[in-house]
Structures are given as C-alpha cells and as structure tokens.
Amino acid sequence: MTCKHHSWLLLLLILCSASIFGQSRKPNIIFILADDLGYGDVGAYGQTKIRTPNIDRLAAEGIKFTDFYAGSPVCAPSRCVLMTGKHGGHSYIRDNKEFKPEGQEPIPASEITIAELLKSQGYTTGGFGKWGLGYPGSEGDPNNQGFDLFYGYNCQREAHNFYPDHLWRNDQKVRLEGNDRGLTGKQYSHDLIEAEALQFIKANQDRPFFLYAPFTIPHLALQVPDDSLAEYVGQWDDPAYDGKNGYLPHRNPRAAYAAMVTRMDRSIGRMMALVKELGLDGNTIVMFSSDNGGAFGTVTKDFDFLPGRMGGTDYVFFNSTAKFRAFKGSIYEGGIRVPFIARWPGKIKAGRVSNLPAAFYDLLPTLCDLAKMELPKNSDGISLLPTLLGKGKQRRHEFLFWDFNGYGGQQAVRLGHWKGLRRNLHRGNTKLELYNLATDPGEQHDVAAQHPAIVQRIETVLREQHQPSALFPMKSLDTR
C-alpha cells in the first residue's frame, strides 16, 4: 500500500472516529434560573411592558409549559427541590434558614444533587449566581454537592445587593474593589456572573457540560446600571421608592425593575450567541425558569397576601403574576406557578406549547434521562423528556405536592384541575380550601363545601406525602 493510501485510510479513520464521538457525546445542559421572576414577567407569557426578546426567542424556537411549578414559594426550599428531585414533603430544606455570618442551612452530604449525578457521567459542572443551600465549607457548599466550579453569592442574604463587597469563587472570597454594598458601585454582580458563565462555556466546549445559572435578577434590591435604566426611565409614571421596607431606595423603581429583567435577558442572548458561535447549538439543551412567583406585595400578620409594593417592586403594574392569586411566599398559584421553557434545535420542535402539569422535582429525572443514567429511587419526579422531544409515552403525575414551612405553614396539592391548600398550619388551622383551576385559575371561589369527596382525596395526599422534619416542624401536623 502506498503512502498516499495510508494517508487516505488514516483520514477515513479520523472522520469515522469524529462521527462516532459526535453521535455518542452527551448533550450539554444549560439551566437558567431567574430569582423572583413572576409568571407574567416575560413576553412569552404575556408581558407587554418589559422587553425580553431572547427569552421569547427561546420559547418561539422551543417548547413553553403553561402549568409548570416551582418547588416552593421562596428561594432555599425551592432550590433544594430542584437540586434533589424531592417534593417539599420529602426534601431536606423546607424554608429559608439563615446562618451567620454568611449562608443558609446546608443540605447534607447524604443528599444527591443533579450536579453530582451529571458529574458521575462525565459532565463538567459549573454554577454561576446564587446558591443558598449551605454556607462556605459546609456539607452543602456547592463544591461539596457536585459543582466543579461555583462563582457568585453563596448566601441569599448577601444577594440582596447587586454591588457586594465580595463574591465567592469556590472556597475563595473574591473582594470587589469599588463596591461597598451601597446604592451603586463599580462592579455590578450580575455582569460578573454573566462573564464567568460565558467563560465556562468557552473552556468546556470540547466536553459535555452542565451550566447552572441561578441569576439573582430580578430579586430586590432594585439596582441596575444607568445604561439599562435609561431604556425605561420616562416611559411611565414612576413614583420614587423611599426604602421604608428595609431595601435600598430607588428614584425610578418601575424602570429599574424592567431594566433588570431586560439586562438578564441580554445575558441569556449572549449565552445563546456563544453556544451558536462555538458550533454547540445542536447538542445543547437550554432550559429557563424562575425559583418562585413574583416579588412581594403586602403580607399581613395573619399571612394574607394583599397588593402592595414591597421593596419598590410593583407586581400589579407589571401584571407579574398574570391572572393568578398572590405572589412570592404564598402557596396560591401566584407564588408557585412559574415560566418553564426548553430549547434544543433539531430535538425539540419549535413553537410548541404544553399544558402538562409539572414541577421542579421533575427536572432531576429529566436530566438523568437526557444523560442516559439511572434515576435515584427516592425521587418524586418523572422525566419530561417524552414531552420535550415529542416522542414516546409521557407519564403523568397523579398529583403535585407542596409542603412549605414558612409564612405560617402551608401545604398544597394539585389533583388534575383541582387545587387544595391549607394555610396557617402553625396556628392549628387544618381547614382545606379547594379551587377548580379549570374555571377559576385566580383561586377566588373556595368550593370545598360542594366537593367533599375531592377534599377527602386531597387530605389523604396531604397526610401521606408529608414526612415530618425535626429541622422544619409543621406544628399542627408534627406535634399531634
């Protein structure tokens, strides 16, 4: 055989190997999580005042879920459900719980996270944004829960300011010159987090990666650089916020909120552009959601959720929770129903809409399915991959379940189009409210008295799915 023939044979082997590698390489996964973004805060879900062209494009080029739910009405327990695939009645964290000087209650080493599972399958794992599941050095530290690289806020409380004096890169505290946690500063944390996420994509373009981007926008405080603020100032009547509720004041709070959401959308556009530029588009699934419903209104001492402008946000003006009742902190739909969008060119058909009821604890099984790995036995979720890909038979939940220790103690069940919930459990109230979401999505008409059989079924689920927690006891349930 001539040297020329040897060269052609070698080239053929290289091409075949590349083809086999390309077919067998596991898909890259990018999961973007907004912070306190309401169901109605993006254009794809009906927003008309705030511009979100890149998120809207994800929906137009992928699939949008209409009946998707967060794991809990507030940050830490919702993220615990997401990371571990267990609903609130089984998950370890069931409310926000602070540690000083910096951090929250850690999830223990015994909890298995999405990042640990994907890492075991050869994924490089990175988290960029807000963690909230364990203070630095604890068992819950992101580096001890499967993340090769973490950059951002370890602590949720620290994340209440977008000009912090430090962020974390793994176990190293990174000081930010020119910032003092004031109204403004030299380094806007979201922009730093975006840059690290983009660098992670570049650095890992030749291997499968899992990029978890729990951005801090649009959580309070209202802070955004002037170039973004200028896009919205003057568009509406915009009374100044004086900072009375403990958050920083702002002269243009409505403009600031809209500008923050649009700036996050810009970051998502840059991530998508980089993925395409690197030739990774066809092998990268991108998912987008929010950790709970829209930001606060007014919460009374009896835990009623009323319209208001906590921290300067104006969820009524922006219709942030769409047609749904209440907001963050509440087990009503406005506190837990959130956007969920997935895009994967060539795999997920563009422009699809699904009304499949699903929740955060379905994402761990879905990503296990994507990575072709065995699902942990204690997961409460089901894989959504058949719906995403439009192939195979989709399993459906008999019910969705929430168990939230905060704001008086709350539980909820969605059973088909029925929604049953209980509030003020810490005060001994176990009365069930029942709503028909098919005819009353705003949960205005309690029909429990007319449907005793449905009430009984839901009460059975509430009883069976609630596993007592010594760390987060539900007083009227765990002390009887």
Would you give per-residue pLDDT tens digits along the chain (480 residues)? 444 344 444 443 444 444 334 446 899 999 999 999 999 999 999 999 999 999 999 999 999 999 999 999 999 999 999 999 999 999 999 999 999 999 999 999 999 999 999 999 999 999 999 999 999 999 999 999 999 999 999 999 999 999 999 999 999 999 999 999 999 999 999 999 999 999 999 999 999 999 999 999 999 999 999 999 999 999 999 999 999 888 999 999 999 999 999 999 999 999 999 999 999 999 999 999 999 999 888 888 888 888 888 899 999 999 999 999 999 999 999 999 999 999 999 999 999 999 999 999 999 999 999 999 999 989 999 999 999 999 999 999 999 999 999 999 999 999 999 999 999 999 999 999 999 999 999 999 999 999 999 999 999 999 999 999 999 999 878 865
Dist CA 419 CA 436 (whole Å): 6
Dist CA 288 CA 64 (whole Å): 10
Closest CA to 295 of 241, 219, 243: 219
| Encoded tokens for 59 | 């929906």
Q: What is the structure's pLDDT at 136?
A: 97
| Encoded tokens for 456 | 């009984």
Q: What backbone torsions phi and psi does residue 478 show, to the nearest 5 degrees? A: -95, -5
| Encoded tokens for 15 | 């091409």
Q: What is the structure's pLDDT at 296?
A: 81
CB 231 within 8 Å of CB 262? yes
Q: What is the structure's pLDDT at 342?
A: 98
Locate tokens 């072709």: which residue? 372
Locate tokens 């719980």: which residue? 97
Q: What is the structure's pLDDT at 16?
A: 40
Q: What is the structure's pLDDT at 290?
A: 98
Phi-psi region of 287 (alpha: psi -120 to 50; beta: other; left: phi over 0): beta
- The helix (H) or strand (E) run that includes residue 333 is helix 333-336
With H, G, I as helix, E, B as strand and everything else as coil, classify residue 155.
coil
Helix-helix angle 53-60:253-277, to 10 degrees: 50
* Ordered structural domains, the chain, with CATH: 26-389 (3.40.720.10), 400-478 (3.30.1120.10)
CA geometry: angle 94, 100, 104, nearest 5 deg: 25
Q: What is the structure's pLDDT at 13?
A: 42
Q: What is the structure's pLDDT at 242?
A: 93
Q: What backbone torsions phi and psi does residue 335 show, to the nearest 5 degrees? A: -90, -20
Q: What is the structure's pLDDT at 9?
A: 42
Dist CA 307 CA 266 (whole Å): 30
Q: What is the structure's pLDDT at 308?
A: 87
Locate tokens 């109605």: which residue? 40
Closest CA to 127 of 113, 143, 138, 111: 143
Around 468, how many Cα atoms within 13 Å sit in the side-chain half-sphere?
A: 7
Q: What is the structure's pLDDT at 24?
A: 64
With H, G, I as helix, E, B as strand and everything else as coil, classify residue 338.
coil
Dist CA 387 CA 414 (whole Å): 20
What number of other Cβ atoms are within 10 A of residue 87's Cβ?
25
92: which residues sit within 8 A by CB, 6+ positions away?
80, 84, 86, 107, 108, 111, 469, 471
Locate tokens 């806020």: which residue? 153
With H, G, I as helix, E, B as strand and everything else as coil, classify residue 391.
coil
Phi-psi region of 243 (alpha: psi -120 to 50; beta: other; left: phi over 0): left
Dist CA 250 CA 71 (whole Å): 31
Closest CA to 326 of 308, 312, 301: 308
CA pseudo-torsion sign 291, 294, 296, 298: negative
Closest CA to 129 of 334, 315, 291: 291
44: which residues sit within 8 A by CB, 6+ positions away?
52, 55, 56, 58, 59, 60, 64, 339, 341
With H, G, I as helix, E, B as strand and everything else as coil, classify residue 250.
strand
Closest CA to 316 of 251, 230, 254, 242: 254
Residues in the chain: 480
pTM, two decimals, is: 0.94
Locate tokens 């926000």: which residue? 96
- The helix (H) or strand (E) run that includes residue 30 is strand 28-34
